[in-house]
Amino acid sequence: EHANYLNDPFYLGATCGRVSNRINHASFELDGEQIHVNKNHGEHCLHGGQENFALQYWQVITELTKSSEITLQHSSKDGDAGFPGQVDIMVRYHLSEDNKLSIHYHANTSKPTPINVTNHSYFSLGEDTCLNLGLEIDADAYLDVDDEGIPTGVALPTAASDFSFNKEAVIGQNQQQASHPQLQAPLGYDHCYVLKNKTLTTPSAMLTSQLNNIRMSLYTDHEALQLYTGSFLATPFTPYQGVCLEAQSYIDAVNNK
């Protein structure tokens, strides 16, 4: 229902921004000035703060017949959630006849300001839990984070680690066999992968349901991919009911050179 979208704590299918993911201590330096933004995740800023894009009304500006494409626009005022500059952003969704969904973002700003927009859809491919899905991610490294999801500034190799999806692996098996404390139940994957291929010609990730014989390929020109297995989903949903593959820039890039 309409009200559920306005009060959705899970970012179901949302466009997250201005800055998706976490900003350490909800502050950063920009052009010599210390900027303080909304704290909505403990001491940190998550997905753009309390007035983030996911909780705003967007305006439909173009719409094709047959419902194959739609473009929406939103204006974020200077100072929204503490971020500098007005941002006028558009998102275009296009569904092709061969079952490809393309999401394109375009933004203009009135002054320097960080922007890191992502799509936060959850995928199950018809399974009861994403833990049954096979996953492959084209990444040789992931960002080391502390227990609050804030990067330490170090990228670690995925090879021979609990974070390896270099070859297709079942998400639940990887998670169950993991010894890393951040992956222990009831937690799970909520980590940022450094993508090898940053073009739209080769898939950066592939998700597979063997039960339903379905495969989804994700293409992006972003630098990174946040893998989130939905451990915080709650009523009316259940933990791990869907997995997010959030194509985005690096977490907390404003605080890590």
Question: Who contacts 4 (Cβ-Cβ below 8 Å, separation ≥6)?
Answer: none
C-alpha 172, offset from chain centre? 20
C-alpha 126, offset from chain centre? 21
pLDDT value, residue 249: 96
Instruction: Decide: 162 and 142 in contact? Cβ < 8 Å.
Output: no
pTM > 0.85: yes or no: yes
Sheet of 59-63: strands edge to edge?
Answer: 59-63, 69-76, 87-95, 101-109
pLDDT value, residue 112: 97
**Residues acting as catalytic residues:** 120, 246
Of residues 252, 228, 256, 223, the one with CA closest to residue 241: 228
| Phi and psi, residue 44, nearest 5° | -115, 170
Question: Who contacts 181 (Cβ-Cβ below 8 Å, separation ≥6)?
Answer: 147
| Mean pLDDT for all residues in the chain | 95
3-state secondary structure of 234: coil
Q: What is the C-alpha to C-alpha distance for residues 88 and 180, in angstroms, rounded to an integer?
A: 41
pLDDT value, residue 160: 92
pLDDT value, residue 63: 67
Q: How confident is the model at residue 109 (pLDDT cuts 50, 70, 90)?
A: very high
**What mean pLDDT is predicted for residues 79-90?**
97
Q: Look at residue 65 and tell me whether its pLDDT is greater than 70.
A: no
| Phi and psi, residue 25, nearest 5° | 55, 20
